[in-house]
């Protein structure tokens, strides 16, 4: 029972504010329609054949890995202008799912040589992110992980103060290798110290950037 629909009719120009690395790949790709996914839908599943790359037009995508007994680790979140979908093997090792309502454009290689080179740049960036993620998970405590996460979000949304949290606590927890209760407690910790303010449950105002950066190491 798919609620997924296609907005294929007009197919406007690809997302204009995409990241510098992504931009190059997008320009190499043939124009394709945008698909819409409602929240918590599977974009591709573990075990499926690896297909094209995807560009996020709007919304948030999560890249998820599961252990045999169902524990969940979120490897990455992807926002508007970011590209996801590369994998080393022929089969996807991860699930890609919509966090909220998401618009996605498939990037079909135009056949030009530039595509592969640009894809390499994206893959390297993804590797770098994954390695930094490992450092967080292996060697930082709960508050440090959350501070690093928040700073990363702030930077990618290049918002100087207000940071949106489109994903729910459970997703944050599974990204940070914590429980959602712990995420909640860390939030309270930062609120109590006037480092952040919760404008809404999904919107954080950073009151003290320096303190956050101290935490994140």
Partner DNA sequence: CGACCAATTGAATTGATTCAAGGTCCGTGG
Partner DNA sequence: CCACGGACCTTGAATCAATTCAATTGGTCG
Interface residues with a copy of itself (CB under 8 A) are 63, 65, 67-69, 71-73, 75, 86-89, 93-94, 113, 116-117, 119-121, 123-128, 130-135, 137-140, 174, 176-177, 217
Nearest distance from residue 172's CB to a copy of itself, in Å?
12
Place of tokens 């998970």: 137
Contact 176, 183 (CB under 8 A): yes
Which one of residues 177, 197, 207, 211 is an interface residue with DNA (CB under 7 A)?
A: 177
30 binds, among DNA, a copy of itself, none (CB under 5 to 8 A by kind): none
> Which residue, 36 or 115, is less far from DNA as judged by CB?
36
> Which residue, 10 or 67, is less far from a copy of itself as judged by CB?
67
Residue 59 DSSP symbol: S
d(CA 183, CA 177): 10
Contact 175, 74 (CB under 8 A): yes
Residues for the chain: how many in total?
A: 217
Residue (of 153, 149, 157) closest to 217 by Cα position: 149
Q: Which residues bind DNA (CB under 7 A)?
A: 141-143, 168-170, 177-185, 187-188, 198, 200-202
């Amino acid at each position: 029972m798919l609620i997924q629909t296609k907005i294929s009719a007009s197919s406007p120009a690809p997302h204009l504010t995409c990241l510098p690395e992504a931009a190059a790949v997008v320009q190499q790709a043939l124009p394709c329609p945008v698909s819409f996914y409602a929240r918590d839908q599977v974009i591709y599943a573990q075990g499926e054949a690896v297909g094209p790359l995807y560009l996020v037009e709007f919304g948030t995508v999560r890249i998820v890995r599961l252990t045999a007994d169902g524990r969940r680790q979120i490897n990455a979140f992807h926002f508007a202008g970011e590209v996801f979908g590369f994998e080393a093997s022929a089969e996807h090792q991860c699930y890609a799912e919509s966090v909220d309502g998401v618009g996605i454009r498939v990037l079909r290689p135009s056949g030009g040589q530039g595509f592969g080179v640009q894809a390499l740049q994206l893959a390297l960036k993804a590797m770098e992110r994954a390695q930094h993620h490992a450092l967080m998970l292996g060697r930082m405590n709960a508050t440090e992980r959350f501070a690093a996460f928040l700073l990363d979000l702030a930077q990618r949304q290049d918002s100087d103060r207000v940071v949106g949290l489109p994903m729910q606590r459970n997703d944050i927890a599974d990204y940070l290798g914590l429980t959602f209760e712990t995420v909640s407690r860390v939030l309270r910790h930062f609120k109590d110290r006037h480092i952040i303010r919760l404008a809404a449950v999904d919107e954080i105002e950073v009151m003290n950037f320096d303190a956050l950066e101290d935490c994140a190491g």
